[in-house]
């Protein structure tokens, strides 16, 4: 029987017995009697016997063990595991980089280089903790991208294969048949066809509940003009991706977020989806987070809004710039500065759209730009210039797979970047779920209202009780001060 250290067989099997949707994405169930792998919540009328199941931490591990994806529950489209966002170790960082397309663009050697580790050591760690090699995890991601393109577009299969990251049409055909037990032609017949306006339509799976009003409002309320907007409850957001621009329209539903994404290059599909998921914190497990806070002084706050998410970023550099622009000013003032910067240095969106029209400038663009027209102080201009040059020179890593501790040290070494700025960048750009920016005045006021110490050191010490979900604690506290919050 296959087991992994982080998977308790009895607990996993109870989840399968009760079809508990909360565990979808946390682990995969392989059924030895049928040769398929499923979500824990698979609605199949006959539950597998305990002697016939094996549990895996990833779909890639199940595929490597010879299982194929269930046609009923589509486990490859389940929410991602919150574990990979929580973990700051090398494996967690690698999983976030794979989701961001590093293996497809640079190979396993490139992934190992980003992590400053040998390919051999990386492979050993993955086999032990993920149950599959990095290339197998990337292959599973490619298979899911291929399925979406097959089912929702009219692209030729040759184009689908290379857009999804496969090296050859033969590799594409073999993988699709092996993973889904269907040929590409059979998948297309079962698909929905192409969507309107040349967009690809797909479901972004979530773990309910989701407070989309607050989340979408935060994203649009902090983004510079031209990058994001909310209209009739639909969030529209531009993205700069490795191979071109994209624009996504996101509509919340009861058990998912419906996404229509237009891409300059279909090869950016999986990366675009991964970045949108990080922006909206869609891999969060609100039930587990609420259970963590039960019995604490924040229990009532968390229970009142179990669907709260911690907004992330579609680009680490963009978020870092916006954070610096928001230092010691209101949210509206920070957005104004950002809008001026994007208006002056941002690029026109290359995909015509009636609601958004710009993408954020690159670090290379801002590294040598004259920022005086934006209305910033000389010191703030210098901070932005130093940040852009550090990122452009590849010395400062703001990617999802960054070493969070090393990045924080690098940020604090830049003139004009203090603990508050470093904390906010860690929370949003790096997706760290365990940040409590005690230097934030609004946060401290909210904590004082609940009877916590006003002293920074004492409050920071008290916040350790909420670890590893202190970013969520921060947002629940900020919410009590709305609309004063300047986070």
Q: Give the pLDDT score at 3.
A: 56
Report the predicted TM-score, pTM, of the whole model to 2 decimal places. 0.92
Q: Are 305 and 395 contained in the same domain?
A: yes
Q: Are 292 and 218 contained in the same domain?
A: yes
Q: Which of 24, 434, 440, 487 is catalytic?
A: 440
Residue 483 above 90 pLDDT?
no
Task: Give domain status of residue 345, yes or no.
Answer: yes
Task: Give domain status of residue 359, yes or no.
Answer: yes
Instruction: Work out whether the CA dihedral 211, 151, 313, 384 comes out positive or negative.
Output: negative
Q: Are 179 and 220 contained in the same domain?
A: no
Mean pLDDT to the nearest integer, 17-22: 87
For position 32, which CATH number holds? Answer: 3.40.10.10
Burial class (CB in 10 A: 0-12, 13-18, 19+), 233: exposed
**In terms of Cα–Cα distance, which of 88, 87, 111 is closest to 99?**
111
- Residue 266 has what DSSP assignment? G
Q: Give the pLDDT score at 194.
A: 56
Task: Give domain status of residue 15, yes or no.
Answer: yes
Q: Are 266 and 123 contained in the same domain?
A: no
Chain centroid, CA 155 distance in Å: 27
Burial class (CB in 10 A: 0-12, 13-18, 19+), 116: exposed
Kind and range of the H or E run holding 186: helix 184-190
Q: Are 467 and 408 contained in the same domain?
A: yes
Q: Are 89 and 107 contained in the same domain?
A: yes
Mean pLDDT to the nearest integer, 9-23: 90
Q: Give the pLDDT score at 196.
A: 52
Q: Give the pLDDT score at 192.
A: 64
Distances (CA, A) of 311 to 52, 215, 292, 425: 40, 7, 20, 11
Q: Give the pLDDT score at 197.
A: 58
What does the alpha-carbon distance between residue 229 and residue 442 come to, in Å, rounded to a whole number? Answer: 25
Q: Which of 38, 70, 73, 259 is catalytic?
A: 38
For position 134, which CATH number holds? Answer: 1.10.10.60
Q: Are 50 and 161 contained in the same domain?
A: no
Residue 440 is among the residues annotated as catalytic for this protein: yes
Residue 466 above 70 pLDDT?
yes
For the chain, the average pLDDT equals: 92
Task: Give domain status of residue 120, yes or no.
Answer: yes
Q: Which residues form the domain of 13?
A: 9-73
Task: Give domain status of residue 78, yes or no.
Answer: no
Mean pLDDT to the nearest integer, 231-258: 96
Residue 342 above 80 pLDDT?
yes
Among the residue ranges 31-35, 418-422, 483-487, the one predicted with the least confidence is 483-487
For position 247, which CATH number holds? Answer: 1.10.340.30
Domain limit, last residue, from 190, 212, 237: 190
Domain limit, last residue, from 19, 52, 73: 73
Task: Give domain status of residue 196, yes or no.
Answer: no
Cβ–Cβ < 8 Å for 2, 58: no
Q: Are 180 and 135 contained in the same domain?
A: yes
Residue 12 is among the residues annotated as catalytic for this protein: no
Q: Are 180 and 243 contained in the same domain?
A: no
Q: Are 146 and 14 contained in the same domain?
A: no
Q: Are 118 and 239 contained in the same domain?
A: no
Residue 429 above 90 pLDDT?
yes
Question: 375-402: per-residue pLDDT in tens?
Answer: 999 999 999 999 999 999 978 999 999 9
Helix, strand, or coil (residue 121): helix
Task: Give domain status of residue 267, yes or no.
Answer: yes
Task: Give domain status of residue 331, yes or no.
Answer: yes
Among the residue ranges 67-76, 102-111, 169-178, 303-312, the one predicted with the least confidence is 67-76
Residue 310 above 90 pLDDT?
yes
- Per-residue pLDDT band for 74 (boundaries 50, 70, 90) equals confident
Q: Give the pLDDT score at 263.
A: 95
Count: domains in the chain: 3
DSSP string, 208-242: S---HHHHHHHHHHHSPTTTEEEETTEEEEEEEET
Q: Are 185 and 317 contained in the same domain?
A: no
Question: 180-217: per-residue pLDDT in tens?
Answer: 989 999 999 877 655 555 789 898 999 999 999 999 99
Domain limit, last residue, from 163, 190, 217: 190
């Amino acid at each position: 029987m296959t087991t992994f250290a982080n998977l308790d067989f009895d607990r996993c099997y109870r989840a399968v017995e009760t079809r508990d949707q909360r565990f979808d994405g946390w682990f995969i169930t392989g059924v030895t009697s049928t040769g398929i792998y499923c979500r824990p919540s698979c609605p199949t009328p006959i539950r597998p016997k305990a002697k016939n199941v094996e549990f895996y931490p990833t779909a890639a591990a199940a595929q490597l063990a010879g299982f194929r994806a269930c046609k009923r529950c589509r486990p490859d489209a389940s929410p991602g595991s919150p574990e990979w966002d929580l973990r700051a170790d090398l494996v967690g960082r690698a999983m976030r980089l794979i989701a961001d397309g590093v293996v497809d663009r640079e190979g396993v050697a490139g992934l190992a280089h980003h992590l400053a580790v040998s390919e051999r050591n990386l492979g050993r760690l993955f086999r032990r903790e993920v149950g599959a090699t990095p290339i197998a995890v990337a292959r599973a991601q490619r298979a899911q991208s291929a399925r979406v393109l097959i089912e929702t577009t009219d692209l030729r299969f040759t184009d689908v294969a290379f857009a999804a990251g496969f090296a050859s049409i033969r590799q594409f055909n073999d993988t699709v048949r092996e993973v889904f037990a269907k040929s590409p032609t059979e998948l297309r017949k079962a698909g929905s066809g192409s969507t309107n306006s040349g967009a690809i339509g797909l479901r972004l799976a979530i773990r309910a509940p989701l407070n989309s009003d607050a989340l979408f409002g935060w994203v649009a309320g902090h983004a510079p003009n031209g990058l994001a907007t909310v209209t009739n409850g639909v969030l529209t957001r531009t993205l700069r991706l490795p191979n071109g621009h994209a624009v996504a329209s996101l509509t919340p539903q009861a058990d998912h977020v419906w996404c229509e994404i237009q891409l300059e290059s279909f090869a950016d599909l999986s990366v675009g989806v991964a970045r949108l998921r990080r922006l909206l914190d869609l891999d969060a497990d609100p039930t587990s987070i609420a259970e963590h806070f039960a019995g604490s002084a924040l229990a009532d706050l968390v229970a009142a809004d179990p669907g709260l998410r911690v907004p992330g970023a579609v680009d680490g550099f963009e978020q870092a710039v916006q954070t610096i622009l928001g230092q010691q000013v209101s949210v509206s003032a920070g957005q104004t500065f950002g809008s001026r910067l994007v208006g002056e240095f941002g690029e026109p969106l290359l995909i015509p759209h009636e609601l958004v029209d710009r993408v954020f400038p690159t670090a290379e663009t801002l590294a040598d730009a004259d920022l005086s027209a934006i209305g910033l102080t000389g010191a703030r201009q210098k901070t932005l210039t130093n940040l852009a040059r550090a990122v452009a020179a590849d010395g400062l890593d703001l990617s999802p797979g960054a070493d969070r501790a090393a990045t924080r040290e690098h940020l604090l070494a830049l003139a004009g970047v203090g603990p508050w700025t470093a904390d906010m960048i860690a929370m949003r750009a790096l997706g760290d779920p365990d940040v409590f920016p005690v230097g934030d005045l609004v946060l401290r006021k909210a904590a004082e209202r609940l009877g916590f110490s006003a002293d920074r050191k004492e409050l920071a010490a008290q916040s350790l009780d909420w670890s590893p979900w202190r970013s969520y604690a921060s947002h629940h506290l900020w919410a009590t001060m709305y609309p004063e919050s300047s986070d």
